Amino acid sequence: MAIEDLMTGGTVLPITRWGTPVMHEETKPVTEFDDELHQLVRDMFATMRAARGVGLAATQVGLGISLFVYECPDADDKIHVGAICNPVVTTPTGKDRSLDKSEEGCLSFPGGYQPLARPDTATCVGLDVWGNEVTVTGDGTLARCLQHETDHLNGIVFGDRLSSRSYRHLEEQHAQLEHLYPADWPVSPKKTTADD
């Protein structure tokens, strides 16, 4: 079985918002690589696609386990897909380190985007959903995604990495658009106007 076999047949789940305890706690390692895990991966892919995201951590569907899925472009716009359990991310240091200050958002804090400087390449080591060792190295949006999703599994949301001024702007943006996102979004679609 390949990861592509787990990218269909899922159920869209509500996305957990910042402020919910599971979003701010370190996750437990995945130890069972069974049908239940595979169904969760299907559900997470369905949820991520319904929300038009490029990555989704298990904490974002309310589960405190160390797993994320992604369907994300690299710097050359090549799409990479996968699911990684128990990830550890490393980034370049010293003269090899180059920062990319691009806008970042989070499906768990919809409507808000702020620039955040992150290393422009990242390597993620973990296990695939069958328990095999896997290493993914990415640049561009993929590098940002690997760092963002692994942060989630360590109880860190990207707002934690912003300056207080940038965080205030993020909260203002989110507050202006929050009413468009039902509590069970993306199970219920985003509204196009406040009157929907």
Q: How many CB atoms lie within 10 A of CB 161?
A: 17
**What is the number of alpha carbons within 13 Å of residue 175 lying toward its C-beta?**
6
Token pair recorded at residue 79: 């799409």
The catalytic position among 25, 104, 149, 172 is 149
Beta strands at 113-119 and 99-105: parallel, antiparallel or unpaired: antiparallel
Query: Please, which residues have CB within 8 angstroms of residue 109's CB and are 6 or more apart in sequence?
Result: 17, 18, 157, 159, 170, 174
172 is catalytic: no
Q: Which residues are catalytic?
A: 149
